[in-house]
Amino acid sequence: MDPLNEQAPDSVLAAPPSDQIPNDGTGVVALDPYLEPYKPALRSRFSKAKQWLDTINSTEGGLEKFSRGYETFGFTVSPDGTITYREWAPSALRAYLVGDFNGWNRDSHEMKRSPFGVWEISLPPVNGKPAIEHDSKIKISMVVPNDQARAERIPAWIKRVTQDLSVSPIYDARFWNPPQKYVFKNARPKKPASARIYEAHVGISSPEPKVATYKEFTQNTLPRIKHLGYNTIQLMAVMEHAYYASFGYQINSFFAASSRYGFPDDLKELIDTAHGMGITVLLDVVHSHASKNVHDGLNFFDNSDHLYFHEGVRGRHALWDSRLFNYGHHEVLRFLLSNLRFWMEEYQFDGFRFDGVTSMLYTHHGIGTGFSGGYHEYYGPNVDEDGIVYLMLANEMLHNLYPDSITIAEDVSGMPALCIKLSLGGIGFDYRLAMAVPDLYIKWLKEKQDIEWDMGALCHTLTNRRYGEKTIAYAESHDQALVGDKTLLFWLCDAQMYTNMSTDSEFTPVIERGMALHKMIRLITHGLGGEAYLNFEGNEFGHPEWLDFPREGNDNSYHYARRQFNLPDDHRLRYRFLNEFDSCMQWMEEKYGWLHSPQAFVSLKNESDKVIVFERAGLLWIFNFHPSSSFTDYRVGVEEAGTYRIVVNTDRPAFGGLNRIQDETRYFTTDFSWNERKNFLQVYIPTRTAMVLALEPTLDPNWKANVSLGF
């Protein structure tokens, strides 16, 4: 047995009763006995987390108050219009507030320093109005130790920054204090039992070669997501980042929503509208590193190398060319935890996908490290215990204050207990990303013939996940869409993507194969791969091109920095078939709930026939990956007796199929054990097709009408 991921017998995996859970962080050992030798490390990180909680409780009044740092630091406005500005900059000798409001006089508004290095100034209202005009430019000007030079910086807690590239790439800080505050109309949706996640980037969400806006996303993209049946959106590149082509991963202003796409209220309207549709909205949060920018970032903020970051080499990421936070510092914890709380409160996000978690877990940041699955890799000197403890605190805060919030970890290492709650000694995430799944598909499409696909290896990769830790399965995310790689459909059909995706053109073997496998890969990933599902926008219909942001290397072109939603809208193109199949999958999951059902029972992995059969959520899933062989009266096992009907069929004409499988067929079980199941039934499964069968009593009354529409 592979101790990393294979399921052990239930007898050793049952969690102890709550009154028997040890209060030292080792409760997770009851879920995974292979952790027994690492109890000291588990105790150490748990003890450090408890120490931080005790410290925060005694000095700050608890996590709830501590995480409201944005109500104290940065700019706050009292009911009478008094503006107070506070900034932590202990290395500064003197500090001044400058901006449009005082004609950029560097000496007129000096700030006072607290013993802890926090600078403060209050500006009373002028003629009954705030002394600083809404949306005017501001900065903090500090006298720093090096020859008492001046260092002018964008405030660290600023809530809006703007960039005028015709003047300079450096951002301007804005005092954001609109006279009319946005009022949310819709409550947050309940936490979905099954998270079907649509990963999206506002700027590319248009077929036009431009930076799309929050408002355009609200008007044009949200209805698409709702039609497709996704109940969760994961928004990328919202936190203001220094460089558009960084895909949002070089953050310079952590509390500012990117002004590239519009105003803060436009983002609030987007989230509010999504909530009105019953859609949960997650933020792709980047706390793993920060932009190294000095003039409009946190780097050398008070002219010291160690304010928010580790000093020297430890504070720099060799591959990302960015700064690394010191998670063991009190004020850094205040800043990061308050940042999470701010996005939850101010913008009403419902949770976070934490980027770059592997970098946060290890002192080597995953650089040059191939994780073999040996438990020794997750403990010892290479582990960044401060980073782990920060993530423990973040998850504890979010789940206590927002019980319906969702947190997702992007970790390639397979760290045990990543998605186990803190009380058991876990780090506390809700989900981890199954990053090995898309890698397998790309590797096979690059290196193997279809007949060489290994059904056992496919099932193993899709089911190889840690017991009790929920996993998000996906066939491809934004990582596989980036320039230099290809989307799955591009790998499958690139020779004819631009010539034969029209229904007026020949339905060639290349296109037939590509569309068939595109649907089958998605369906088996959805059904077998995890407890949630993710898709990157555009890939639901087989987006034909990679993603490349405007940069010097492509003459600053927006041609590939867009999603061509016009393709599935054109009824002469075959992309619409893939789009509607994706919608069928999501809505059928909504009905049957397989993602929040127990893991599937795989009854057949036939290597010669290339057939996979499994059951999950009372449904029978049948896949024939054989590139040329179809099978008549193919016997498959099923546990529950009864009459079955098709609810998902990749071969439907509405999905671009060849209509070889008749949806009206009724399948009757025979009381005879087969493949470790109590019954069997017989089906016709043409080459490169898949179907999902449900017991007849579970069908909707309008089942026949749905079939005629494609689902």
Q: What amino acid positions are annotated as catalytic residues? A: 355, 410
* Cα–Cα separations (whole angstroms), residue 334 to 72, 267, 393: 11, 25, 11
* Cα–Cα separations (whole angstroms), residue 207 to 171, 211, 484, 580: 28, 10, 21, 19
* Cα–Cα separations (whole angstroms), residue 453 to 81, 610, 661: 68, 8, 24
The sign of the dihedral angle between the CA atoms of 481, 483, 485, 490 is positive
Query: How many CB atoms neighbour CB 368 within 10 A?
Result: 8
Phi, psi for residue 665 in degrees, rounded to 5: -65, 135
Please tell me what DSSP assigns to residue 547. B
Which residue type is seen at 689?
Answer: T
Tokens coding 324: 């690394």
Angle, alpha carbons 488-492-493 (nearest 5°)? 115
Angle, alpha carbons 248-249-253 (nearest 5°)? 75
Please tell me what DSSP assigns to residue 409. E
Q: Is 104 helix (H, G, I), strand (E, B) or coil?
A: coil
Please report, for the chain, how many H helices and E strands are present, in that order.
16, 29
Task: Report the C-alpha gap between 107 and 94 in whole angstroms.
Answer: 10
Which residue type is seen at 543?
Answer: H
Please tell me what DSSP assigns to residue 198. E
Token pair 């294979």 in the structure block, residue = 6
Token pair 């002394």 in the structure block, residue = 131
State the SS3 of 643-662.
EEEEEEECCCHHHCCCCCCC
Residues in contact with 23: Cβ distance below 8 Å, sequence separation at least 6, in sequence order: none
Token pair 């999950």 in the structure block, residue = 616
User: Residue 471 in contact with residue 418, Cβ under 8 Å?
Assistant: no
* Residue whose C-alpha is closest to residue 182's, from 354, 347, 351, 412: 347
Task: Report the C-alpha gap between 397 and 69 in whole angstroms.
Answer: 14
Note the residue count of the chain: 711
